[in-house]
Structure 1
Amino acid sequence: MAPDRASSLTQLARLGFSRFDDAETHLAELSELVGIARETLLAEASRAADPDEALAGLVRVARRRAQAVRDVLQDERGREVVWRLLGASRGFADFYLRRPEQLAALPGAGRRLPTTEELRRALGAAVGADEDGFAASGDEASWIDLRVAYRAQLAEIAVYDLMHPDPVEIVHAVSAALADAAGAALDASLAIARTKVTNSGGFGGFPRDEVLRTRLAIIGMGKSGARELNYVSDVDVIFVGEPAAGTELSEARAIEIATRLAIQTMRGIDGIEAEPALWEVDPNLRPEGKQGALVRTLESHIAYYDRWAKSWEFQALLKARPLAGDPTLGEAYVAATQPKVWSSSQREDFVDSVQRMRERVMEHIPAEDVPHQVKLGPGGIRDIEFAVQLLQLVHGRSDEDVRHRGTLNAIDALEAGGYIGREEAAVFARDYRTLRLIEHRLQLVGLSRTHLMPRTEDGLRRLARATGLAESADGVEEVWEDIKREVREIHVRLFYRPLLSAVARLPQDEGSLTEEQARDRLAAIGFREPAVALRHIGAVTSGLSRKATIQRHLIPVMLRMFAEGADPDYGLVAFRRISERLGETPWFLRMLRDSSGAAERLTRLLSASRYAGELMEWIPESVAWLDNDEQLRPRSGPSLEEEARAIQTRHDTIEDAMRAVRALRRREMLRTAMGAVLGVTTLEQLSDALTTITEVTLRATLRAVRREVVPEDDASLDFAIIGMGRFGGAELGFGSDADVLYVYRTEAVEPHRAETLALKIVAELRRVSEDFRLPLELDADLRPEGRKGPIVRSLDAYAEYYRRWSVSWEAQALLRARGVAGSVKLIDAFMQLADDVRYPEQPDAQAVREIKRIKARVETERLPQRIDPTRHLKLGPGGLSDVEWLVQLLQLQHARTVPGLRTTSTLAALDAAVEAGLVIAEDAALLRAAWLLAARLRSANTLLSGQTSDVLPTDRRLLDGIGRILEYPPHSATQLEQDWLGTARRARRVFDRLFYG
């Protein structure tokens, strides 16, 4: 290749050309046609998005009118404008090919955007419109003049857009100018229509004075109404017609004339003529759509909206604006419809209907277009617009500040009002501008209506250069994919926000009540102390901070959610305290506002459970768990054990270590409580979780105590904690004590010294495990001799005692003995000892009789006085004690020969008894049901009240609260009570027959 040829191709490549042979040929031809040197022609070529297309367009126009091209290219700014405009738009090249004389305006074009008034004057002048709104002529030539003048103004806007250093920033202004140009075009076309439909227009139509007395308003909808129009887009309109006030023109005659005017106005814009149509005028958003009358009176419109309109029609009216025609009638239309727009969210299933409409839009996109749809696809323009409009319609009912037609203005208002977060608003606004810029550049290419991303590398490269968003095809595609992901994530979070439906259902006057009315409203929905509730509401909503603003939006909805719970007054108090503890923490209110159910869960939790609420006040960060079921599920034993062991390595003193251990226990107990109240955790998981937390706590406490109490010289001392009762059976509920035995071994330590150290360990265990916020009761009353016996014994002492003095109840107590902390070898040795006592070779008949006697005595002596025995969940008939004593009796009698009975679990032993034929399945089912229900009621009672109680309350409100925790429907106090009494009664009959029979 010759050096000059190589140099030329290198230059072309550097300037952005890709079709080198065509470019060389076109440059030579253009230079010859216009008499301008090649280097001068190429001086601004690098500014073109597609230099090849720009050059080809210039050559085509120059072949027809070389002088017009020469004039613009001889001007330095004219050259830059031409390269930018034709490089971005083959459609404008086609326009100048048809109308080369219009090139003369380009050197001075685009220095600023034309104003609304300038656009109306320019297009009105093009058709010779007079003061009465009639054009000079009603023939087709006037329409052609209008379209040429419109495209000349469109070029002014496009040049400004393409030459601006930050096109993303000016998208809003460009879109507004495009909408104003559309309005001006409609006004000019209406002027032609007026002339055309008069007798003087040769149409055989109406007298001029009748046309003059006919008022026709053209209402802009959608993007034209919001002043967010594209370069080429359908212009959605609604026509409103009426006779002028004070005239004798009948309404019917006025509608007839207005309808003819509307038809001719549309034809002037989108009819087939020598100059192509501008865009389609779409009147199908009118009442009844295509089947409805094209023009209606204002009164007829209002009657339709009052009686038959669907929710989507009010959403469409959100952007309604007088666009052309009679401005007074247009303003009257908007004034009459806007109150209906802002009350529409109270319609039944309004939010759901808007959500379904967005989904239907996406369902109708051809599958092959979905990944490329800038407007309608997931992560596209519609995702932003639908989310913003839904938020406006729901909150705009009570907050006039968010009532904006434009999307960007609405985003700013929603952010200022606290309805969406600052970060979300910033991302939405930035991405919306960017998507609209992409849409604009795509439509400029052919001056055609399109919303599809290019599917070729050349097309993507052209888009990258036209937008300035990237330097390559891959770069602009990456920007597009990032935007789609960001937009879709925020759209889903906002558009399907659970609080929206709740806000939409609020009474319209909820935010404007007097203090007395507010107290009455609170009392009516279930608050027992409305005056106190009002003070708490004032505390969380007063002030000018963003937090207070968001709280003002949340509180009306949350109050109704609180009112659906058992104790709304406490729920509100707890919410206030948690809010104050979290201060200005940004994630808290953002999560309540935006998450998929955190607000509903929080209100349900706080109004249902004082136990959880009081712990949440101390651990407010736990609110974050509400957004994720995994955070509400109990953590595994190994993970807790690992954390507990790490505590010992991080803290040098026992006090520091125990503070961390207590914090660990509180946190995990709260997690379990939250999961239980919200139905994430089952009863079986609950018992396992509470047992695991207690075991981990005791092991960590024992390690800390040993390190403090036992000198290195005595480190060989074996010490262990044996779980007893429900702890040993891994059957803990909320409020259960931890029954334990303490044991040590003296083999490597002098006996007296070992006993002294063991007593110190126990004393320190009991001291440091105390937690005034969440008590952990280490109950050693099941030790030999009960409270009278030594609190800790050596293994040998236990063996000697059980061999010589053990009584039946002590053997029975050992049935649920299980090692939980300390020396593994010592635990194994103790369990071997326990097995010999609890699983005797031959059951002692006297011991069996003694157990039955003790059980009868317990029922008469240990039941609290003035308590209905049938309501005692533990000691009452059919309660926990009945099932457990019966199972333990079977274990004492048969465990030596039935291995399945050698378990500390009540229900596992009951299953083994059924398998061994000791209990029939039907009886076992009744016993199991009673035991499970009693355990659930006991835990639910503690969760509700925050206090431990074995008695089913008689208060209907408390019963209802317990029922809600157990997932009964609201107001199920009687059903819950009947379920327990019936279940316990049936279990008691089985117990009496099997235990005493």
Structure 2
Amino acid sequence: MSSSDRSTGLTSLARSGFDDLSGADVLLDELAEALGVAREVVVAPSGEAADPDAALRALVRVARRAPEPVRALIEDAEAWENAWLLLGASMGYGEFYSRHPDQLGALAGAGRELPSAATMTATLLAAVGADEGFASSGDESAWVRLRVAYRTQVALIAVHDLRQRQPEIILHAVAAALADAAGAALEASLAVARTRITDGGPGGQYSRAHVAATRFAIIGMGKTGARELNYVSDVDVIFVGGAPEDPDVGVSEGRAIDIGTRLAVQTMRGISEVEVEPPLWEVDANLRPEGKQGALVRTLHSHVSYYERWAKSWEFQALLKARPIAGDRGLGDDYVAAVRPMVWTSAARENFVDSVQRMRERVTDNIPADEVANQIKLGPGGIRDVEFTVQLLQLVHGLSDPSIHQAGTLVALDALVAEGYIGRTDAAAFATNYRMLRVLEHRLQLRRLSRTHLMPTDRTELRVLARSSRLSDTGTALVRRWESIKREVRDIHVRLFYRPLLSAVAALPAEERVLSSAQAHDRLAAIGFVDPRGALRTIGALTSGLSRKATIQRHLMPIMIRWFADGVDPDYGLLAFRRVSERLGDTPWFLRMLRDSTGAAERLTKVLSGSRYVGELMEWIPESAAWLDRDDQLQPRSGVALQEEARAIQERHSTIDDAMRAVRALRRREVLRTAIGGVLGILSIDQIAEALTTITETTIQATLRAVRREVVPAEDDGLDFAVIAVGRFGGAELGFGSDADVLYVFRANDVPVHRAGALAARLVAGLREHSEDFRLPLDLDADLRPEGRKGPLARSLEAYETYYARWSLSWEAQALLRARGIAGSVSLIAAFTEMADAVRYRPSPDPNGLREIKRIKARVENERLPQGADPARHLKLGRGSLSDVEWLVQLMQLQHAAAIPDLRTPSTLGALEVLEREGLLPGLAVARLREAWVLASRLRSANTLLSGTTSDVLPTDRGRLDGIARLLEYPPHSATAVEEDYLAVTRRSRRVFEKYFYG
């Protein structure tokens, strides 16, 4: 061959995937000459081989020893291609055919379909000369024949597998065939074992009749039982023995167990013991009762007794895949029938879900540190993540749903999707990635016919794996794809495996898992529903039908009912859930969130059964349910963000009605966000007050902009107008249901005074009209203005100055302490603030004015309390409550704020801190005042959240009081505790107030 021809030949070899070009060139010449065919014929199928160098070396090695089988193979183009495929993927089979060249002939015709279980069983039994359950001989040669026949059958499976362009599609069929091959091998090994232990066998001591009559079954566990086995994997088994059904045979139960134990030992030896032909795989019987310490063979009754009394949760998880695979099928079927009910009730055991989760974590923790990143099976994002997730979902939901009682992972996954326990998207990703991971595992094990689950790091091995799996073109691309698969699998696993819903469902009492029984009415009444008949109607409306929504809600409803029952008002909560659910329809995210989120379903039941205020708003804003999945979604939005949104709204809408409709929707949404955060305890009373104040400010600012655009013509644009917050609004201390106390001020500038006053009045009227919201009222209360209700709603800045200079009373200076501009002209707000400072922070407060404030406070206590109200229970005006704390703080501000600039704050709590720091109030007094103010504020908001209506009175109704207590995070049935706490706190506060206010 010329140098140019040789160069062209080497280039062709490189294109076919050869790595050692020179070595391959020499070996091809040798093989072509040995077989008497053209070199082109020899090398033709090499491009399909994952590792053509290894395939060529194996063929040359076999041909050197026995050329005839190789020569016969090359005469069949399909068989020759099969040989390149198999030997290019498996150096282990290269060694096998070197030992047994005669087995190459089986590759002719291979690959077109998978061998059936019956064919493989018949073939392996024939290899050991089995007849009526006994092998023709019991010596070691029978084991060798068995192993050779088994590997030949597995080669047929491998060829079919390797011929697929998308091997992941037929993974389930290949895995099932491998499990069937393992069952056939155990059946054949059992036949040899029977022969070995008879009195004619090597060291045998039992009669053939007694051995034949003894009942003995091999139960496949794990991947073998589920028919999803690997090429080389431990085969997990459990052995069951028993006396003959006919007592006349003369084999007692004890003797039957002795015989069964010998059969088990010999069967395992036939598969796993080192012989001339290497072992097939490890037969692992450690899943038996008591593990390695337990008896190898037990009777069925002994197994059942153990599982009923002593078994741990993981043992039932293992039994999920149990299947008879060899021996007495009748006994095997009886075993499965006996343990299966215990499997599907095991999730009801105490801490079952936690124990399964911890077991998965222990598996990961026990991986050597240097292997974690390369573990395809056990590592994060590996095969076990999929399998554990599917099994846990099955076992928990299988408590009440037989349709998901499946053994195989992929079949079970399909059932879980069909019944709504897992979303289609997650299931599809899980299934696809699981198949790919299993294909990688299969190809790794085929490579050397060894049990391994580690992704190679060697460049050549990665390239071979990429070609054999057909999942990528190069090793680098394969690693990238594998890393992507791991990330996706791990993400889904963490979301589903640690789903709080699983623990909740598993912990349900048996009688509550199905809501359609005749006792449903009584159960609902027993767990707290006041109107169980109405609850049943609501449940029926939610769960009836064949839609996916109804299916998912049927599964969720038992545990959600329990959660509703744990709430304050389960009847209302369930009804509100129905309304929200109906508004959202079949919205995919809602159903997915309820089923898959980390606690959103439970949170939803808590807020709906604990707060009518939330329930009524959520009915109008059902998409707010999405916030329950993440705490950050329940954090108040900043004032800047709300302002930007409000301005964008006004730019999008051309009419004031449209713009204000959107602004009202914004306010409802943000108040609802704050309310949910409050009910769930995510927000403190300070955060709630700040959020509600910000939302109200934004609403007023947006409304004023919209109204001004409508009311003030361009020629009067010089008019300044501002809204001043006073009272709790000015102090940024709003609660749910609080009015927004305001003052209105204008400055005419170059606009005629009478016209400026008329425009200001129209602005006020427009503000009040367009801020009205029948769903979530916003009361702009101007009663704290000069002259009270008798005075004009809006005054000019000059009129305010004149009034305060000449006519104002001490309480009006007091009211200005919390005055703060929140909307309108910035310069006017600054001017108003300067004027207010001169009134409220006078260097020498009038003693008569301070005495008048004290007289007014006493009159308020006597005259403003609603008729018949208990002063000890009024949260605003009662003894030691909000009014006492605020009036004391404001009195001291009037006395000292001129000299102490830090006291010039509208915040009650902020002023208290300064009073303590400056030594004007002792620390204990401040602590008692703060405690009373905070508790009264929380109770006021909780009262509104619970009922959806505003009330300033601590209720006497025990049920309502308990509901308020629950919102304040007291334990259930704490009506008396919260009442006693409030009365005690306000008594202490009142004593402080009387000492420092009147003293």
- 1:908 maps to which residue? 910
How far 1:203 moved relative to its partner? 2.1
Deviation by residue 1:73-126 (Cα, 9 ceiling, x = unmatched):
121111111110100011111111000011112121222111111111111111
SS in structure 2 of the partner of residue 634 of structure 1: coil
How far 1:164 moved relative to its partner? 2.4
| 8 Å Cα contact 2:515-2:558 kept in structure 1 | no
Judging changes above 3 Å, is the alpha-carbon distance between structure 1 residues 404 and 514 closer, same or farther for their aligned structure 2 residues? closer
How far 1:2 moved relative to its partner? 2.6
SS in structure 1 of the partner of residue 30 of structure 2: helix
- 1:42 maps to which residue? 43
- 2:970 maps to which residue? 968
SS in structure 2 of the partner of residue 155 of structure 1: helix
| 8 Å Cα contact 2:514-2:558 kept in structure 1 | no
Q: In structure 2, give the amino acid aligned to 1:164.
A: Q
SS in structure 2 of the partner of residue 954 of structure 1: coil
- 1:177 maps to which residue? 177
Q: In structure 2, give the amino acid aligned to 1:570.
A: Y
Q: Give distance in 2, aligned partners of 1:103 and 1:923.
A: 97
Deviation by residue 1:167-225 (Cα, 9 ceiling, x = unmatched):
11111001101101110110111001111100122424101111011111000000000
SS in structure 2 of the partner of residue 168 of structure 1: helix
- 2:146 maps to which residue? 146
- 2:194 maps to which residue? 194
Structure 1 gaps of 5+ residues are none
How far 1:985 moved relative to its partner? 0.1
Deviation by residue 1:417-472 (Cα, 9 ceiling, x = unmatched):
00000111111111111111111111111111111111111111101110111111
Q: Give distance in 1, aligned partners of 2:468 and 2:92.
A: 15
Matching residue within 803, 808, 813 for 1:811: 813
How far 1:5 moved relative to its partner? 2.2
SS in structure 2 of the partner of residue 44 of structure 1: helix
Q: Give distance in 2, aligned partners of 1:352 and 1:891.
A: 57
1:620-699 → structure 2 map (5 Å cutoff): 620-699=622-701
How far 1:516 moved relative to its partner? 4.8
- 2:743 maps to which residue? 741
Matching residue within 450, 453, 470 for 2:452: 450
1:207-286 → structure 2 map (5 Å cutoff): 207-247=207-247, 248-286=250-288
Deviates more, 1:801-810 or 1:819-828: 801-810
- 2:7 maps to which residue? 6
1:422-437 → structure 2 map (5 Å cutoff): 422-437=424-439
Q: Give distance in 2, aligned partners of 1:921 and 1:421.
A: 57
Q: Give distance in 2, aligned partners of 1:908 and 1:193.
A: 88
Q: Give distance in 2, aligned partners of 1:513 and 1:397.
A: 14
Deviation by residue 1:138-176 (Cα, 9 ceiling, x = unmatched):
111111111111111111111111112331111100110
Q: In structure 1, give the amino acid aligned to 2:315.
A: E
Structure 2 gaps of 5+ residues are none
Matching residue within 346, 354, 357 for 2:356: 354
1:607-618 → structure 2 map (5 Å cutoff): 607-618=609-620
Matching residue within 912, 926, 929 for 1:927: 929
- 1:126 maps to which residue? 127
Give the TM-score, by structure 2 length. Answer: 0.99
How far 1:509 moved relative to its partner? 3.3
Q: Give distance in 2, aligned partners of 1:917 and 1:194.
A: 97
Q: In structure 1, give the amino acid aligned to 2:819.
A: A
Q: Give distance in 2, aligned partners of 1:508 and 1:850.
A: 69
How far 1:514 moved relative to its partner? 5.5
Q: Give distance in 1, aligned partners of 2:188 and 2:917.
A: 93
- 2:78 maps to which residue? 77
Q: In structure 2, give the amino acid aligned to 1:214.
A: T
| 8 Å Cα contact 2:347-2:395 kept in structure 1 | yes
Deviation by residue 1:500-553 (Cα, 9 ceiling, x = unmatched):
001001122324456651111111111111111111111110100000000001
Q: Give distance in 1, aligned partners of 2:518 and 2:260.
A: 53
Q: In structure 2, give the amino acid aligned to 1:282.
A: D
Q: Give distance in 1, aligned partners of 2:518 and 2:463.
A: 66
How far 1:916 moved relative to its partner? 2.5
- 2:303 maps to which residue? 301
Q: In structure 2, give the amino acid aligned to 1:77.
A: E
Judging changes above 3 Å, is the alpha-carbon distance between structure 1 residues 514 and 436 closer, same or farther for their aligned structure 2 residues? closer
- Is residue 566 of structure 1 aligned with residue 568 of structure 2? yes
Q: Give distance in 2, aligned partners of 1:105 and 1:813.
A: 101
Deviation by residue 1:727-763 (Cα, 9 ceiling, x = unmatched):
0111111111000000101121000110110011001
- 1:288 maps to which residue? 290
| 8 Å Cα contact 2:165-2:470 kept in structure 1 | no
How far 1:976 moved relative to its partner? 0.8
Matching residue within 878, 883, 887 for 2:885: 883
Q: Give distance in 2, aligned partners of 1:897 and 1:146.
A: 103
Deviates more, 1:541-550 or 1:671-680: 671-680
Task: Give identity over the alignment, percent.
Answer: 67
Q: Give distance in 2, aligned partners of 1:163 and 1:810.
A: 92
1:361-760 → structure 2 map (5 Å cutoff): 361-512=363-514, 516-760=518-762
- 1:343 maps to which residue? 345
SS in structure 1 of the partner of residue 721 of structure 2: strand
Q: Give distance in 1, aligned partners of 2:447 and 2:96.
A: 12
How far 1:960 moved relative to its partner? 1.6
Q: Give distance in 2, aligned partners of 1:267 and 1:901.
A: 90
- 1:797 maps to which residue? 799
Q: In structure 2, give the amino acid aligned to 1:219.
A: I
Q: In structure 2, give the amino acid aligned to 1:320.
A: A
Q: Give distance in 1, aligned partners of 2:77 and 2:921.
A: 104
Deviates more, 1:344-353 or 1:599-608: 599-608
Deviation by residue 1:212-270 (Cα, 9 ceiling, x = unmatched):
11111000000000000011110000000001112231100000011001100000111
Judging changes above 3 Å, is the alpha-carbon distance between structure 1 residues 532 and 943 closer, same or farther for their aligned structure 2 residues? same
When the two chains are superposed, the root-mean-square deviation of aligned CA atoms in Å is 1.0
Aligned pairs, how many? Answer: 996
Q: In structure 1, give the amino acid aligned to 2:60.
A: V
Deviates more, 1:542-551 or 1:971-980: 971-980
Q: Give distance in 2, aligned partners of 1:894 and 1:109.
A: 100
How far 1:277 moved relative to its partner? 0.6
Q: Give distance in 2, aligned partners of 1:884 and 1:508.
A: 55
SS in structure 2 of the partner of residue 957 of structure 1: helix
SS in structure 2 of the partner of residue 869 of structure 1: coil
SS in structure 1 of the partner of residue 451 of structure 2: coil
- Is residue 893 of structure 1 aligned with residue 895 of structure 2? yes
| 8 Å Cα contact 2:196-2:204 kept in structure 1 | no
Q: In structure 2, give the amino acid aligned to 1:151.
A: R
Q: Give distance in 1, aligned partners of 2:856 and 2:930.
A: 23
Q: Give distance in 2, aligned partners of 1:845 and 1:512.
A: 74
SS in structure 1 of the partner of residue 168 of structure 2: coil
Q: Give distance in 1, aligned partners of 2:886 and 2:860.
A: 13
- 1:995 maps to which residue? 997
Q: Give distance in 2, aligned partners of 1:204 and 1:232.
A: 31
How far 1:612 moved relative to its partner? 1.1
Q: Give distance in 1, aligned partners of 2:176 and 2:689.
A: 64
Deviation by residue 1:635-682 (Cα, 9 ceiling, x = unmatched):
111111111111221111110110111011111111111111111111
Q: In structure 2, give the amino acid aligned to 1:7.
A: T
SS in structure 2 of the partner of residue 323 of structure 1: strand
Q: In structure 2, give the amino acid aligned to 1:102.
A: Q
Deviation by residue 1:692-739 (Cα, 9 ceiling, x = unmatched):
111111111000000000000001100000001000111111111000
Q: In structure 2, give the amino acid aligned to 1:779.
A: D
